[in-house]
């Protein structure tokens, strides 16, 4: 079997070693400069401190300075597991290491605001690699309801792999074929990436229901606020679909694993939901972040801060259907302007 190199030893990149190893591949897990403790631990004992499990014995942990050494004639796939903030750095490492075109599969989620538009990472990475190497490299995206800790202990996990070339997608699926890892193919890169990125954004809104419950007086029958959370969930799905379609993707991607599936998982637990709870209690983003989550990266809030101004501008100029995106506007306005998040219930879709 050929080799698979994973750049980024955080929990999600590292969890990808499980299906790769189960499929019989030699796997190199390469940490960034932020992953030195993880690399040492895995190299010494196999134990990953973030996932709290031992990785397969066929996984070799390496520092980022040895990334080029992991790329050989036997390499079949590179998996990019860095954070969205580390993509530029990762492209530099890829360009330096590649001596021939190799397919890249991105675990990284996010949308980049550039020139008044929003772009998905796969196209950006492919273009930058081409500029630096001259190689036309297929860059694919992976999305869906995948909690790293569950994948790390081989729980059944269903995902979507999206790309422009069907043959490359099928090869990537085959390379990661494992009894517990179920990948489906999609040609809708934009729709899948919009769904994957914005599920974090909207999980914040769904999470506000928990904060609103704490903020309100206790009901005499101990009723919760599941109705409120479900209403926000449904509106979020509709707005993800609207954004996907408006940005060049397909609405149906929002109703599959990358949208509904991943939004459900993200709302069940995680940093974005916890931030939503704090905002639902009436806190501003800066107060909630500084006082309650100072060391956490809130992906949905990071997306709001980076892409929010572009989203608002596109809505104001009619490039996005503002009437179908009231929750999108409310989240961007609250986080970018550090205001209380007010839910615009009367503006929600009534179709």
| Structure confidence by residue, pLDDT tens digits, 217-253 | 999 999 999 999 999 999 999 999 999 999 999 999 9
Look at residues 149, 168, 187 and tell me which one is the last residue of a structural domain: 187
The pLDDT > 90 percentage for the chain reads 92
- Does residue 350 register a pLDDT over 80? no
Same domain, 131 and 245: no
Cβ atoms of residues 81 and 94 within 8 Å: no
- Does residue 297 register a pLDDT over 90? no
CA angle 348, 301, 297 (to 5 degrees): 145
Q: What is the DSSP letter of 271?
A: H
- Does residue 1 register a pLDDT over 60? no
Interatomic CA distance for residues 267 and 240, integer angstroms: 15
Same domain, 37 and 135: yes
Look at residues 135, 162, 187 and tell me which one is the last residue of a structural domain: 187
Q: What is the DSSP letter of 81?
A: -
Same domain, 226 and 329: yes
- What CATH number does the domain containing 76 carry? 3.40.50.720
- For the segment 53-88, what is each residue's pLDDT rounded down to a tens digit? 999 999 999 999 999 999 999 999 999 999 888 999
End-to-end CA distance of the chain: 52
Instruction: Give mean pLDDT, residues 271-285.
Output: 97
Residue 11's pLDDT band, with cuts at 50, 70 and 90, is very high
Greatest Cα pair distance in the chain: 68
Residue 351's contacts (CB-CB under 8 Å, 6 or more residues apart) are: none
- For the segment 142-166, what is each residue's pLDDT rounded down to a tens digit? 999 999 999 999 999 999 999 999 9
Cβ atoms of residues 76 and 6 within 8 Å: no
Residue 339's contacts (CB-CB under 8 Å, 6 or more residues apart) are: 284, 333
Residue 259's pLDDT band, with cuts at 50, 70 and 90, is very high
- What CATH number does the domain containing 260 carry? 1.10.1040.10
Provide the 10 A C-beta neighbour count for residue 147: 18
Instruction: Give mean pLDDT, residues 245-271.
Output: 95
Interatomic CA distance for residues 184 and 245, integer angstroms: 21
Instruction: Give mean pLDDT, residues 272-296.
Output: 96
Look at residues 141, 159, 187 and tell me which one is the last residue of a structural domain: 187
Instruction: Give mean pLDDT, residues 131-135.
Output: 95
The whole-model pTM stands at 0.93
- Does residue 131 register a pLDDT over 80? yes
Same domain, 28 and 85: yes
As for how many domains the chain has, the answer is 2
Instruction: For strands 26-31 and 59-63, give the pairing.
Output: parallel
- Does residue 113 register a pLDDT over 90? no
Interatomic CA distance for residues 161 and 164, integer angstroms: 10
* Exposure on the CB side of residue 167, measured as CA atoms within 13 A: 0
Residue 222 belongs to domain spanning: 191-347
Q: Taking the C-alpha atoms of 220, 226, 156 and 164 in order, what is their torsion angle to the nearest 10 degrees?
A: -170
């Amino acid at each position: 079997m050929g080799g698979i190199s994973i750049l980024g030893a955080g929990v999600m990149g590292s969890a990808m070693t499980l299906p790769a190893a189960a499929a019989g591949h030699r796997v190199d897990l390469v940490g960034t400069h932020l992953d030195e403790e993880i690399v040492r631990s895995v190299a010494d004992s196999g134990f990953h401190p973030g996932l709290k499990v031992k990785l397969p014995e066929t996984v070799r942990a390496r520092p980022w300075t040895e990334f080029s050494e992991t790329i050989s004639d036997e390499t079949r796939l590179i998996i990019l597991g860095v954070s969205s903030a580390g993509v530029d750095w990762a492209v530099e490492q890829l360009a330096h290491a590649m001596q021939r075109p190799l397919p890249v599969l991105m675990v990284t989620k996010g949308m980049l605001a550039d020139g008044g538009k929003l772009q998905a990472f796969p196209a950006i990475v492919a273009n930058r690699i081409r500029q630096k190497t001259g190689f036309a490299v297929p860059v694919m995206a992976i999305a869906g309801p995948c909690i790293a800790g569950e994948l790390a202990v081989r729980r059944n996990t269903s995902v979507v792999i999206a790309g422009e070339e069907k043959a490359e997608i099928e090869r990537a699926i085959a390379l990661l074929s494992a009894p517990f890892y179920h990948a489906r193919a999609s040609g809708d890169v934009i729709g899948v990436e919009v769904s994957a990125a914005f599920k974090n954004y909207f999980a914040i809104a769904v999470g506000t229901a928990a904060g609103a419950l704490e903020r309100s007086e206790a009901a005499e029958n101990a009723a919760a606020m599941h109705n409120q959370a479900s209403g926000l969930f449904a509106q979020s799905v509709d707005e993800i679909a609207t954004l996907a379609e408006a940005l060049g993707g397909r609405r149906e991607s929002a109703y599959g694993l990358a949208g509904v599936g991943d939004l459900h998982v993200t709302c069940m637990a995680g940093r974005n939901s916890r931030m939503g709870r704090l905002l639902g209690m009436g806190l501003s983003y800066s107060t909630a972040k500084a006082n309650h989550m100072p060391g956490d990266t809130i992906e949905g809030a990071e997306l709001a801060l980076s892409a929010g101004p572009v989203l608002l501008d596109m809505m104001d100029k009619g490039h996005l259907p503002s009437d179908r995106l009231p929750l999108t506007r409310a989240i961007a306005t609250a986080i970018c302007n550090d205001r209380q998040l007010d839910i615009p219930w009367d503006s929600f879709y009534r179709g």
